[in-house]
Structure 1
């Protein structure tokens, strides 16, 4: 762009003839946010594939950078968070949802993706069997706090979600993660000053309204974690409804 064109663009922005570049909503998480390529392979979908349907995309863009099989730890370890962080601009949003894979083993030769349970400063130094590297593993809450702090450092706005509820029932109720990953995600968000959405409870409540038979037959295909298209759309709607209720959050005004 030449100097003259830059001056003209700035002038047009000033008088309101050219809208400013719209912010981006980046989604960071696991397969419940983006399953596979995010295009419905095997009939499985994550809610992130449909969040753009719920937002005014003339004013905001949605980029789903979630990756199946990752935990809050391995998403960072593999450099995926750096890729998102490098793109962040002031005024962007980052929606963070991990937890489903954080309960796995801290060290094994298969995935080595577990995190220390809780929201503390505990660490575990390991010789990672899978990566063949020395690694210091932190708590789930520590990793969530890192996402939030890194996001805010770029002038972007973090929104932490608790993990979506699984299709696991007991006495007609969905089993929730109230006292573990939901609690730790909420604590981490509060400690770093991020918005928080209790997606675990919102999804569980919705499933209970629909009933076990309907949810099992109509929203899930092959396991109790990954939804089909209909289930993913329901979860995306729940996320958008929760965003709309966030106080003093600019993104709430962009929910359809």
Structure 2
């Protein structure tokens, strides 16, 4: 059976009912599979993790231990690698971040897995010109460089999400992210002010955006809708 393994942060993480509507996009990717009986999804993504803390906490080794030849590994980090004030998570884009991504690739490819990097989803923050402000700095290019140096697949999810969100304003797009009104959801009685994390609608939209790119991987083209 084909395994699709997810490594990442809260944008991919499996959320339970007590944090609904927050949803990781990897959590709903199984909805885009032709036959769920033919695929196993293993989600190792965790809230708040960077490439560094993912390794330091043993989550990387845990994910690696479950991988087998022929698996697909989807990797998306960056939001927490940027946190320069937190030494337990911060990595410089062209040093620790790039090197950790290459470490992931080398370890999984040695087993015989196919690795695909996905750049960070754009935050829903608009500038005075009405367009999204790019908040990820050099981390987007660093991941592109890592993919090129390794020969890994790359999906520029930052570009895809930016282009999609730029088609409309904040009010039209806020249904996709965890900006919630008071009383809108039982889990958030006081509302929520969050321009990063995805709702269920947002997670589904991200999957729709990346689906054509994922299907460029031959093994996924066979099983995705």
TM-score past 0.5 threshold: yes
| Aligned with residue 97 of structure 1, among 66, 72, 76 | 76
> Structure 1 CA distance, aligned partners of 2:142 and 2:214?
20
Unaligned runs of 5+ in 1: 1-21, 121-138
CA RMSD of aligned residues (A): 1.9
> Structure 1 CA distance, aligned partners of 2:154 and 2:83?
24
CA contact (8 A) 1:40 1:229 kept: no
TM-score, length of structure 1 as denominator length: 0.76
Structure 1 residues 33 and 117, CA gap change in structure 2 (3 angstroms): same
Partner of 1:230: 201
Structure 1 residues 143 and 213, CA gap change in structure 2 (3 angstroms): same
1:54 is aligned to 2:40: no
Structure 2 counterparts to residues 7-18 of structure 1, below 5 A? none
Unaligned runs of 5+ in 2: 180-192
Structure 2 counterparts to residues 84-163 of structure 1, below 5 A? 84-105=63-84, 108=87, 112-118=88-94, 120=95, 139-163=96-120
1:28 is aligned to 2:28: no
How big is the shift at 1:237? 1.6
TM-score, length of structure 2 as denominator length: 0.86
Larger deviation: 48-57 or 37-46? Answer: 37-46
CA contact (8 A) 2:7 2:43 kept: yes
3-state DSSP of counterpart to 1:53: helix
3-state DSSP of counterpart to 1:254: coil
| Aligned with residue 185 of structure 1, among 140, 143, 162 | 143
State the Cα deviation string for residues 155-210 of structure 1 (Å, max 9, x = none).
Answer: 01100000111111111212235751111111101111110000011011111224
